[in-house]
Amino acid sequence: MSQPIVVESVAALRAQVRDWRRDGLSIAMVPTMGALHEGHISLVRVALEKADRCVVSIFVNPAQFAPAEDLDKYPRQLARDLDLLAEAKANLAFTPTVGDMYPAGFATRISVGGPSSGLESDFRPTFFDGVATVVAKLLLQATPDRAIFGEKDYQQLCVVRQLCRDLDLPVDIIGAPTVRDRHGLAMSSRNAYLSETELKIARQFNVILRETAVALADGADQAVATAAASRALATAGFDKIDYVEARESLTLAPWRRDRDGRLLAAAWLGKTRLIDNMEISST
């Protein structure tokens, strides 16, 4: 099992990408913040199906954390991540430092409109600026042909698509399905924060969202169904529900029944904030 090439600097990343391109190889990128789990590994698999070489970035991006959020306690486990990437046959891990990504004097922020409005932004107002800025940098640094993002962070996926479209970044953005445990809980690095009791409650999240998505597809009133979902989450033991909303899947505009829909939600268990989403399928 060979370890991926590990590079810290943009110059070394570009040199390797240049070599691959010289050999006629295509490249897919999986941007991550590390603490890898089966969800990330599924993105690596998609990357290797779609391209000859897979670059995984591991960078806990301070720009997307608000001061009171979990930047300091966000799990960091590079050695384990590299083992998982070796098993998954990723070719290169890009592990820049904060100083590499945001050197002294760094003064740019990218702000995406459209799909970033509402939902997460109502509760994390600076989050998508931080994500858009780092994703634009990563894509310009690695210049992949494709980049893979999980549908688990559905609003983020829509924001990244908008970013690449608006800035003419020459990269195909591919959304990959959410990986769930056998109880349907969406894989997330933040699941590591959950106690056993919280984990049991967390597993109700997907069940309640799925039932609500089915009810919406069957014609339930949107306001009534989403309010019922919030109540069901509270009854299941969630401490605070940030939102449960139905949106149009492509633009994230408010959902209209004649459009493809997505039900999105965020809720707290103790100090851990979970997000999840479900397709509202008309079939």
Residues with a catalytic annotation lie at 40
The answer to whether 17 touches 55, Cβ cutoff 8 Å, is yes
Cα 56 from Cα 30, distance rounded (Å): 5
Strand order in the sheet with 92-94: 5-7, 92-94, 53-58, 27-32, 146-150, 172-176
Confirm or reject binding of residue 174 to ligand PAF (CB under 6 A): no
Interacting span for ligand PAF (CB under 6 A) from 31-39, 67-75, 95-103, 112-120: 31-39
| Residues in contact with ligand PAF, shown as a per-residue x/- string from 52 to 71 under the rule CB under 6 A | ---------x--x-------
Contact status: 47 vs ligand PAF (CB under 6 A) = no
Q: How far is the CB of 180 from ligand PAF (least distance, A)?
A: 17
Q: Which of residues 151-170 bind ligand PAF (CB under 6 A)?
A: 153, 156
Query: Is residue 144 a contact point for ligand PAF (CB under 6 A)?
Result: no
- Which CB sits closer to ligand PAF, 153 or 242? 153
Binding residue count for ligand PAF, defined by CB under 6 A: 10
Is 171 a binder of ligand PAF (CB under 6 A)? no
Q: Which two tokens stand for residue 114?
A: 């459209």
Q: Do the beta carbons of residue 178 and residue 151 sit within 8 Å?
A: yes
Q: Closest Cα to residue 210, out of 119, 156, 277?
A: 277
CA 244, chain centre distance (Å) = 18
Q: Which is nearer to ligand PAF, 31 or 261 (CB)?
A: 31
CA distance 254 to 2: 47
Which of 16, 27, 31, 209 forms a contact with ligand PAF (CB under 6 A)?
Answer: 31
x/- mask, ligand PAF, residues 92-131, rule CB under 6 A, reads ---------------------------------------x
**CA–CA separation, 258 vs 248, rounded Å?**
10
| Helix orientation angle between 10-22 and 127-142, rounded to the nearest 10 degrees | 50
Residue 189 vs 249, nearer CB to ligand PAF: 189
Phi/psi class of residue 28: alpha, beta or left (left: φ > 0; alpha: ψ in -120 to 50)?
A: beta
Task: Give 165 or 231: the residue with its C-beta nearer to ligand PAF.
Answer: 165
Report in angstroms how near the CB of residue 184 gets to ligand PAF at its nearest.
20
Using CB under 6 A, list all residues that contact ligand PAF.
31-33, 61, 64, 131, 134-135, 153, 156
